[in-house]
Amino acid sequence: LTATRQSLTISLFLFLLLLIPSACESDPVHGDTTRPARVTDLSLDRVEGNTLFFSWTATGDDINSGTAFLYDLRYAFSQSILESWGGATTVLGEPIPSEPGTGEEMALELQLLDSTYYFGLKVSDDSRNTSPLSNIVILMR
Ligand SMILES: [Ca+2]
C-alpha cells in the first residue's frame, strides 16, 4: 500500500511539473513575447554646461500599445560600440515610461570630454522584451 501511495505521489508531482509551463504560457505577463517599438525620434534638445536635455516619444509594451516598463539610455565614443550595446556606458535617471505617444524628457549630467559622443536608447517591457536600438544622437565637442 505504501509503495502504491509513493508512486501516486510521484505521478502527481510529475503531472504538476508538466502543468507549470503551460500555465505560464497562458499567463498574460509570462506569455508576452512582443517587444516595444524602437524609439525613432531621440533628440538632444540642448546642452547647458554639463547637462544634456533629451526628449523622445514613448512607444509601448507591445510595439505601440500598452505602457512599457523601462528605458535604458547609453552612450559610447564610437557608433560601433554603442551598437554593440554591451560595451556602451549606462547612465542613471531615465524616466519611467509614459503612455505611448507621450513626450518624454530627460536631463543627463555628464563630465563632458572633448570627444564625440554617440547616444542611443532601448525600451523594455516587464517581460524583458527589449526594443531595437533607437536612432543615434551624436554630440561633437
Ligand atoms: Ca510586450
The owner of cell 517587444 is 35
Q: What is the mean pLDDT of residues 70-94?
A: 98
- Amino acid of residue 88: A
- Using the predicted structure, report yes or no on whether residue 14 has a pLDDT greater than 80: no
- Using the predicted structure, report yes or no on whether residue 38 has a pLDDT greater than 70: yes
What's the confidence (pLDDT) of residue 20? Answer: 56
Distance 36 CA to ligand 1 centre (A): 6
Could you tell me the pLDDT band of residue 56, with boundaries at 50, 70 and 90? very high
Q: State which residues have CB under 5 angstroms from ligand 1, the bound ion.
A: 32, 34, 61-62, 125, 129
Contacts (Cβ under 8 Å, ≥6 apart) of 131: 35, 36, 37, 38, 39, 59, 122, 123, 124
Q: What is the mean pLDDT of residues 21-45?
A: 79
What's the confidence (pLDDT) of residue 16? Answer: 64
Distance 95 CA to ligand 1 centre (A): 18
- Using the predicted structure, report yes or no on whether residue 19 has a pLDDT greater than 70: no
